[in-house]
Structure 1
Amino acid sequence: MIKESLQKIKNLLPKHVTLVAVSKTKPISDIQEAYDAGQRIFGENKIQEMASKFEALPKDIEWHMIGHLQRNKVKYMAHFVNLIHGVDSLKTLQEINKQAKKHHRIINCLLQIKIAKEDSKFGLSFDQAKEIIASEEFKSLQNIKITGLMGMATFTDNEQQLSEEFSSLHTFFLQERINKSELTTLSMGMSGDYELAIKNGSNMVRIGSSIFGHRNYIA
């Protein structure tokens, strides 16, 4: 079932779009099944859960941290995480840099931009993101690399609103990329809205339930 769902999604994605299979809350057996079907990039939203899966699964997997980041837990993933999607403060970048330095690594990060209308969503404003990138404190961080931007749209069926939110981030991404060639990734779109996100410029999508089925959250 996972193999068929994964293949169906991959067939729908343009070649330039990277698929992050969101495996949060899913057992190792499910991830192994997706791995055996050729998937190599997986996304988790809890650092310690991702760390235990890293230990148990093949080492050529690229692990992406897609959840809101708790700075005190960065140390648990600094030795292996490939990309951190949800960075929304200079303090978080400084902590990632500190932990990456201990492992002699450069960790790739995406700045999370708040494009949704919902208060519950995290992220920087466009101006805050510009301020961070222009700051001397940021320029002194040698063990991180900002490789792009990430955004989560409002949870709504209003396609016009979704398109406007995705498009606003794509426009900002293109503007910032003019002077920063290292900005290559625009992570937008999940199971319910990834096709619209791709139409509006996304080149990385985070898809979970359409591959693994719906999650059973334990209260």
Structure 2
Amino acid sequence: MSIAENISKFNQETAPFNAQLIAVSKTKPNPDLLQAYEAGQRDLGENKVQELTQKYEDLPKDIRWHMIGHLQRNKVKYIAPFVHLIHAVDSKRLLAEIDKQGKKNERVINCLLQVYIAKEESKFGLDEDELNELLNSAELKAMENIKIIGLMGMATNTENLEVIRNEFKYLKDLFEQIKQEYQSDKVEMKELSMGMTGDYQIALEEGSTMIRVGSAIFGSRNYH
């Protein structure tokens, strides 16, 4: 199937769940991204800052760019002028840097807090205690140029669908709990970014509002 057909298929699958497709375009060449764009896809996800900024320069300006990968503090300044949503905020220090760069660019930057839900050492994210500590912190109250609009998580890379479902369930419960306890001008729980090519169906069933799909749209990844 073509990129346009793949996007159409995923939009049909996400519609009943009122969820949004983030087409993960990392490592893909601009002509592929333009095919997605011409099919009506405006939300694209990248995981490398250098590639993201280059594509932002080269491609239509109404694309909403999602930073979905691990973000280093010293790279925030490059994407702060334009990024639509940062999915993987995994520390208070990173959030503080995003706030600082948001201020320099006179904009409020939307963020998701990444929660560690997987049984794997290689994944990043906050645990439940760190999450609560951040949400209760005086530093967060002082930040004026960020807004936390939800949570993001990556499930364990396993064939065991029950493990994946339980991890997504846990994240959804946490999302609902924070929604009850922490709503403020800085925290508005709207988005739950979970589910990728291999597990998006389970994620949708468990309440995801954003799925991050790459290879099932653009074909297998080009590593570089």
With normalisation by structure 1, the TM-score equals 0.98
Residue 2 (structure 1) aligned with residue 8 (structure 2)? no
Q: State the 1:179 CA deviation.
A: 3.2
Q: Distance in 2 between matches of 1:157 and 1:38?
A: 33
After superposition, the CA RMSD in angstroms is 0.8
Corresponding residue to 1:123 among 122, 125, 128 = 125
Q: State the 1:180 CA deviation.
A: 3.8
Q: State the 1:214 CA deviation.
A: 0.3
Most deviating of 99-108 and 172-181: 172-181
2:192 is paired with a residue whose SS is strand
Q: Could you list the structure 1 runs, at least 4 aligned residues long, displaced by more than 2 angstroms after superposition.
A: none
Corresponding residue to 2:199 among 187, 193, 196 = 193
Cross-structure match for 2:209: 203
2:223 is paired with a residue whose SS is coil
Return 5+ residue gaps in structure 1 as ranges: none
- Contact 2:135/2:182 (<8 A) preserved: no
With normalisation by structure 2, the TM-score equals 0.96
The residue type equivalent to 2:222 in the other structure is N
1:156 is paired with a residue whose SS is coil
Residue 216 (structure 1) aligned with residue 218 (structure 2)? no
Q: State the 1:39 CA deviation.
A: 0.2
Aligned-pair identity in percent equals 56
Q: State the 1:14 CA deviation.
A: 2.7
Q: State the 1:13 CA deviation.
A: 1.3
Q: Distance in 1 between matches of 2:200 and 2:182?
A: 26
Aligned residues: 218
Cross-structure match for 1:68: 70
Cross-structure match for 1:26: 28
1:14 is paired with a residue whose SS is helix
Q: Distance in 2 between matches of 1:25 and 1:19?
A: 18
Cross-structure match for 2:13: 12
Q: Distance in 1 between matches of 2:72 and 2:198?
A: 26
1:179 is paired with a residue whose SS is helix
Q: Distance in 2 between matches of 1:9 and 1:183?
A: 24
Residue 37 (structure 1) aligned with residue 39 (structure 2)? yes
1:183 is paired with a residue whose SS is strand
Return 5+ residue gaps in structure 2 as ranges: none
Cross-structure match for 1:96: 98
